[in-house]
Structure 1
């Protein structure tokens, strides 16, 4: 982190602390560590997706449950559309406690906690059901808890669907990716994956993709149907190939700085509200995914289904082999979840 960013983050911490004290009143602060009817809190949750994206709606459901169960004592304002910054910058703020909550993809989170990078491996999960069996199991919960040395506390996973490639140029098969400039999340595994498939990986923040597609800085990108539509990328990228190369879960987080200041009762309330928001988010995702697919087809986007994934899986096998030793425990758990 450079000196300017560190200074800005420190100022944000001071401002956030001042707001908290002003909002609570001195009496409430004294009671924060005792009983759940003690301190009042006004927190922020940073979200990079638009307001009506199914992941953002999951955030809002979580905030609603927290407010309801605390009788309005704990409020969480969701700032969508990257109002508080792109994911990597927000994570740095969360580490400092300047931003209390965020929702991020597990992929950029891997830059802060190496084990989260396992989710970026291509063709890791056989299906959505396989992924959730793992995430809801002992190893999935362990990975959330293991974020604490990175000064974050994992609360719950949300679905991010299956990611596939889209481009301004025709995509008819794996050979179509050769030479294409493909935007990827800022993660080394993603870059290696695109290179293995013959493309030229171009890491950049999500907020820059729309203009990059329009200006030819990139030829394409990769994501799920809801994000493809919500970010309006389908307006330029008229070719979408359903290779489903990744299923990367979303992660709902709280700053450990903030978590450690909460009473045990409030910690339990917030954790349970996060878990209870998951089914809602998954349901709204499934509904939105169908609506997004219909909108894309109506807009004239050419959708190509991949009937044989074997060539794709064979192409990325060197990537899996390269990183598998780094994630042995998680990979063993993912394999057991198949049974």
Structure 2
């Protein structure tokens, strides 16, 4: 009797999971089910503004997919956390309540600590190395590592390299000693500042300007474009062109939903994502360079460029992080990135 009851319960649970998956967005395999009048709806949620590189690329993806499918697929883009914010977008994607998101790579550390690779200081030598990593076998391996969580990595969309700013001199490693820097949450970032003899404070992005203005922290790390758009030059005197870490996004979809797409629609989806990715990366680089030129020309901050020997001093100061996080992130990923 018990065995029959357990079998009945297992069957009910399986049926419930299939029903939930269907409600969450799994679609039938029949491509003919979708027409211009009755399109497949794809919800793309992200937390940045519509005019950011991510926002513009999401809109471009929507246009491309509609074009490639003759209007049989409609992508609804929800910018600025209109649908889901940083804290709940991943759960929403796993549940199938949204179909595409593009969180910061650091938001995925809870699923796989290897995504902290973007925070490793002075790991990527240049922009070309970053692209080679994410588009190569190691990047694909990281993307695919999320499949057990019902998440499918699609592409890396970039923001850019980080630089340091402060109200105090920061031209060499010893200058950092005793200063406090705003940073995102993360063990690698905490260890980075500790290696420099500095303190780290996790402060929300939107509160950073006030924290700098009031002296709660001395400095911060960010991309040129973020520094420019947030007007940090008004409250920071020095900028060190360190290019020590990255801020990048990982575009994700619900694996179960994606796998159930009709073959022709999935092909159009992949092609649209590839084109939108190329567009986003080019735009991000242009905006970052534009912000760099603007900030250098403003005269409001002293911009400090590092020679190769000066850069090496910073690399040596943080060398201990590589052995400290080798097991957590993975020697394969760290060594692979350093060799590019």
Q: TM-score range by the shorter chain?
A: 0.7 to 0.9
**For residue 337 of structure 2, what is the aligned residue in structure 1?**
334
CA distance in structure 2 between the aligned counterparts of 1:296 and 1:45, rounded to whole angstroms? 33
CA contact (8 A) 2:47 2:80 kept: yes
CA contact (8 A) 2:167 2:238 kept: yes
Residues 179/76 of structure 1: CA separation in 2 closer, same or farther (3 Å cut): farther
How far residue 36 of structure 1 moved from its aligned partner, in angstroms, is 6.1
User: Where does structure 1 lack aligned partners over 5 or more consecutive residues?
Assistant: 1-13, 21-28
User: After the TM superposition, which residues 174-323 of structure 1 pair with which residues of structure 2 at under 5 Å, given as runs?
Assistant: 174-299=173-298, 300-307=300-307, 308-323=310-325
**For residue 8 of structure 2, what is the aligned residue in structure 1?**
none
How far residue 335 of structure 1 moved from its aligned partner, in angstroms, is 4.6
CA contact (8 A) 1:184 1:190 kept: yes
How far residue 309 of structure 1 moved from its aligned partner, in angstroms, is 0.8
CA distance in structure 1 between the aligned counterparts of 2:116 and 2:150, rounded to whole angstroms? 17
TM-score with structure 2 setting the length: 0.81
Residues 99/328 of structure 1: CA separation in 2 closer, same or farther (3 Å cut): same
Asked whether 1:325 is paired with 2:327, we answer yes
SS of equivalent residue, structure 2 residue 318: helix
CA contact (8 A) 1:147 1:154 kept: yes
TM-score with structure 1 setting the length: 0.82
Residues 186/261 of structure 1: CA separation in 2 closer, same or farther (3 Å cut): farther
Aligned residues: 313
How far residue 248 of structure 1 moved from its aligned partner, in angstroms, is 4.4
User: Where does structure 2 lack aligned partners over 5 or more consecutive residues?
Assistant: 1-19
- More displaced stretch, 273-282 vs 77-86: 77-86
1:189-221 C-alpha deviation (Å, 9 max, x unpaired): 111112212221112332332333333333322
How far residue 155 of structure 1 moved from its aligned partner, in angstroms, is 0.6
SS of equivalent residue, structure 2 residue 48: coil
- More displaced stretch, 43-52 vs 149-158: 43-52
Asked whether 1:66 is paired with 2:59, we answer no
SS of equivalent residue, structure 2 residue 319: helix
SS of equivalent residue, structure 1 residue 161: strand
CA distance in structure 1 between the aligned counterparts of 2:167 and 2:59, rounded to whole angstroms? 33
Greater C-alpha radius of gyration: 2
CA distance in structure 1 between the aligned counterparts of 2:335 and 2:172, rounded to whole angstroms? 31
CA contact (8 A) 1:36 1:265 kept: no
Aligned-residue Cα RMSD (Å) equals 2.7
**For residue 35 of structure 1, what is the aligned residue in structure 2?**
31
Residues 226/115 of structure 1: CA separation in 2 closer, same or farther (3 Å cut): same
Residues 175/89 of structure 1: CA separation in 2 closer, same or farther (3 Å cut): farther
